[in-house]
Structure 1
């Protein structure tokens, strides 16, 4: 006999994104649609889904740009981490499928979009650990004998880039710091990190972090407030960082603070800031065809010029 009971009593409302009921159910109001893997007829970018760990369910989507005689050699590898307040969206969401496919085409990189386990079912730091595991799994193909032939044949792990937007940018930061602390296997090298409209804490009451990261160190955990620990910031294992902010983004000041903290941390790389006028948070996902989104895509590919 099934003794499971459900209730419509609400424990936490975080509208318009999600709601948690007292019986533990989570209702995500957005970011639940799925786009199947496919081949883009215009750019020739192919995609397919892969499982990183059957034990944890960690998976993601690989993107391979059109391979021609001029691109027959190995291409840079991009690890992309989607946003969504750590709770909504996935690597398979239509907006993120289209965005990462466009990144792969524009920058001519092999890309892997990580489908990390989300809060509140899986509190942070699980998303950090999943993304680190995904990077390690990808790099394990450096010798050409991994389970995914696209990575074996086409990815150059001496030229790794890590990018993410919003919450995904926070995860990207933590993964690149961990690479600086723990090192990377097989001689892999992170050349650059790109943060689109990054989400960081501001050291005040934060309802979202109380839900997704209840065991963080308060009030200034460096995993969500990097400026609180310059020594950790200085361990970023990449040569350059590009940070995008937007004039009307409610997180703009946090991106600016990260930029200033990184410049004074003692980190030895180069950091650039790009500020988009008259636009809000992750506008390039909502309106990817607008002029400013196209300019962001063009400006964001510091790695395509290496």
Structure 2
């Protein structure tokens, strides 16, 4: 019962990874606010309270405590209501898991402003809004844990996901800023890059043999494999863990590097464009990173 007595908000908890995290946190002793608007993968069309209510029902059937919330994370006032639901229902808030998300995949030169903004609003703005709504309560209580969902699409790269990749890399940077700004208040902030076959990955193309092999690997990775890491990061056992980026891939756990200088060159008289081409480029080029994507880096079968 690593989360006994704690209250967690889990966004996008009506299914997939979010549901598994909510269930695991409830089993670990937390009371859970299950947030989900019940929208389609793209965030378009009608919404429904049913997915969130189903997660709540499972938690309650197992003897846990949970309430549903259907506010969209993409609005500041809604984020306030999500956090207030925790306060009204359980009297406090200790954990925020920013998991809600949508996809509007499109090759960059065809991506519309609407496709860009829709994804940024839910992922990046939504993570800020809900985190900011909880931050003052965390500061006053002298403790709190943020667990944000990033993605290797942002950390490494992927085709047709400029909006999603930008949002997810932005979340990693935001998490680091939260960790720096709120460490003195006992507040921690970490990221998980989850691997799982779920609604969010079901749009991955599988038209070539290599793509089909990648999808087959993902299908072996069930959403529940990400939940133990989220529970740990939210618990007091992780009291010294903050500002980090982890990944859960089936039975593997990874700690990600964060950008740091890897090579430098110096010219006492300064640089001209010509000098960069003649001197700096040869010195730096051998350290260039390849133009790869997530599937190229994580190319082995899950174990």
TM-score, normalised with respect to structure 1: 0.36
Which structure carries more strand by proportion? 1
| Bigger Rg, which one | 2
The structure, 1 or 2, with the larger RCO (C-alpha pairs under 8 Å, 6+ apart) is: 2
TM-score, normalised with respect to structure 2: 0.36
Which structure carries more helix by proportion? 2
